[in-house]
Structure 1
Amino acid sequence: MNPAAKSPGTSPPPRTALNPFNTVPRPGSAFWGFEQRKRRVREQDSAEVIQRNFRKHLRMVGSRRMKAQTFAERRSKSFNRSWSDPTPVKPDSPHEPRDSGDLQASCGTLDEGGLDDNIDWEEEREMEKLACEGDDFVPPKIMLISSKVPKAEYVPTIIRRDDPSIIPILYDHEHATFDDILEEIEKKLTAYRRGSKFWRMLIFCQGGPGHLYFLKNKVATFAKVEKEEDMSQFWRRLSRFMSKVNPEPNLIHIMGCYVLGNPNGVKLFQKLKNLMRPYSVEFESPLELSAQGKEMIEMYFDFRLYRLWKTRQHSKLLEYEEFL
């Protein structure tokens, strides 16, 4: 046997129908030309795939830029109005977007970094913009009221009567679950305007410096939100009901307690903001007697009725009930 035919470190060419004897094609032979043509075809196919993907990328980038420009023009026209303007009831039409429950199921998160998540985010924002079309639309404000607050049953009666965008939700502190609260928020938003999301939220509950007494046996602190999965999931799922088209960060007010009374309150708010990303949100918990607190109260309540309710909050007298 010729030792040059089988040298160590080299493997024979693959056996194919056109090369049954595993011979190495030599330059100038018929097999050499065939192999060269096959290689050129493979290179040409790879180049076409790369070009197609690049053109597709350019189309996607261009469409997102056009969407951003269109939204900026529409926002300047549609949202330059008073928040206290009334919102007429809009009848359902066959062109309205799908239910908000379907939107929540398909919501993507940008922090995972996937291209599909970017597309889902853009699609949901476009659907929210369609739901909020019209100069008569006023972004909704959700008010969560814990039954643990003294005289909490009267709170829905003292909200601003000239602002129908305020949606009060009184929940049972003793028996309600996080799922119950989220389902009620979804139902109220759908009834307000199908596909709409809230821009402002007031959480009226008991608590203190560095903690929120949200539900029975569920005290939100920095450490517990970090360790307890159901509590962290609640804030993540709550963010799905926040607006994607709000040009400013969505705002959540905390009332009934002063969470920022110590550094742990600042850490708690920062933790909640991180959980609710990529949605943009700010937390505020001003003292009611401060100028910022008065501004917060007037955003949601009839200030005169609120002061009357406050004076009767811990009283057994019936003057307030008779007044109503």
Structure 2
Amino acid sequence: TLQDVAFGGRGAARNAVLVTPCLSGSDLQSSHCTLDEAFEDLDWETEKSLEAVACSTEGFLPPKVMLISSKVPKAEYIPTIIRRDDPSIIPILYDHEHATFEDILEEIEKKLSIYHKGAKIWKMLIFCQGGPGHLYLLKNKVATFAKVEKEEDMIHFWKRLSRLMSKVNPEPNVVHIMGCYILGNPNGEKLFQNLRTLMTPYRVTFESPLELSAQGKQMIETYFDFRLYRLWKSRQHSKLLDLDDVL
């Protein structure tokens, strides 16, 4: 009987044949995808709950991460000109010549954990060199709309970065780009579109306004003491090493 098979009675287990429905290759693939999606949904909800607990702490301020490339002239001074009245700003200066994407991600994770365990990024500033349609993130690593579609390490970086973005922010998380005017030609908007797609299902928007515009001023004031930023900017390409005294 079925009960005998289930509990091993009368030697049935030895002779029992397990009958399973035949699954075609496409059925198996579909089943596998459904399982993956179920686990991803579970992970998403678990991580969202943990982040919600972190955010509910009294006095919690959503973190703003600043990623600063050492390739930017006088980059070493940037952490000294951030807003001093906002403890949620986390400056990270990375070595453009020698750092890897993995190094950057690990440093962001570490700094977020030190700031507040379970916290995720609501706003982010990437301060690096580049130009219309491209970002010069690391030595020999230029992000363009085409490269973020096909270069594995580039794809991996943006996907991993997306997982450090907030799941509880009621607004889309913002990534600001400074140090170059990436929207100087249509390829810049294509790059932003591809990055938004890569970072789905996280809601992320990319902005790179001109610094002299009203939007640009607002962006600068989100992260910097505006007066000190203007001062730094005016001396950024100067050979006079007087910034130490001024700042």
Q: Do both proteins adopt the same fold according to a TM-score greater than 0.5, normalized to the shorter chain?
A: yes
Q: Counterpart of 2:177? A: 254
What is the CA deviation profile of residues 106-152 of structure 1, one whole-angstrom value per residue up to 9, with x for unaligned ones? Answer: xxxx9997223222211110111112222300000000000000000
Residue type matched to 1:213 in 2? Answer: Y
Q: Counterpart of 1:311? A: 234
Aligned to 2:92, the other structure's residue is in SS state: strand
In the alignment, is the contact (CA less than 8 A) between 1:208 and 1:258 conserved in 2? Answer: yes
Q: Counterpart of 2:93? A: 170
Which structure is larger by alpha-carbon Rg, 1 or 2?
1
2:75 to 152, 157, 162: 152
> Is 1:209 paired with 2:209?
no
1:299 to 204, 222, 236: 222
In the alignment, is the contact (CA less than 8 A) between 1:201 and 1:253 conserved in 2? Answer: yes
Which one has more relative contact order, counting CA pairs under 8 Å at least 6 apart? 2
Q: Return the alpha-carbon distance in structure 2 between the equivalents of residues 134 and 284 of structure 1.
A: 29
Q: Return the alpha-carbon distance in structure 1 between the equivalents of residues 113 and 74 of structure 2.
A: 28
Aligned to 1:241, the other structure's residue is in SS state: coil
- The answer to which of 314-323 and 205-214 deviates more is 314-323
Q: Return the alpha-carbon distance in structure 1 between the equivalents of residues 104 and 51 of structure 2.
A: 22
> Is 1:234 paired with 2:153?
no
Please show how residues 1-324 of structure 1 align to structure 2 within 5 Å. 114-324=37-247
CA RMSD of aligned residues (A): 1.7
Q: Return the alpha-carbon distance in structure 1 between the equivalents of residues 201 and 243 of structure 2.
A: 44
Offset of residue 320 of structure 1: 2.0
Q: Return the alpha-carbon distance in structure 2 between the equivalents of residues 252 and 181 of structure 1.
A: 16
Q: Return the alpha-carbon distance in structure 1 between the equivalents of residues 161 and 125 of structure 2.
A: 13
Aligned to 1:114, the other structure's residue is in SS state: helix
Counting aligned pairs with the same residue, the percent is 75
Q: Return the alpha-carbon distance in structure 1 between the equivalents of residues 44 and 35 of structure 2.
A: 12
Q: Return the alpha-carbon distance in structure 1 between the equivalents of residues 50 and 245 of structure 2.
A: 46
In the alignment, is the contact (CA less than 8 A) between 1:111 and 1:278 conserved in 2? Answer: no
What is the CA deviation profile of residues 215-267 of structure 1, one whole-angstrom value per residue up to 9, with x for unaligned ones? Answer: 00000001111121100110000011000000000000000111111111111
For structure 1, the residue ranges without an aligned partner over 5 or more in a row are 1-15, 17-109
Q: Counterpart of 1:94? A: none
Moved over 3 A (4+): 110-113
Aligned to 1:222, the other structure's residue is in SS state: coil
Q: Return the alpha-carbon distance in structure 1 between the equivalents of residues 35 and 120 of structure 2.
A: 23
- The answer to which of 171-180 and 312-321 deviates more is 312-321
Residue type matched to 1:169 in 2? Answer: I
Residue type matched to 1:290 in 2? Answer: S
Residue type matched to 1:226 in 2? Answer: E
Q: Return the alpha-carbon distance in structure 1 between the equivalents of residues 98 and 37 of structure 2.
A: 39
Aligned to 2:146, the other structure's residue is in SS state: helix
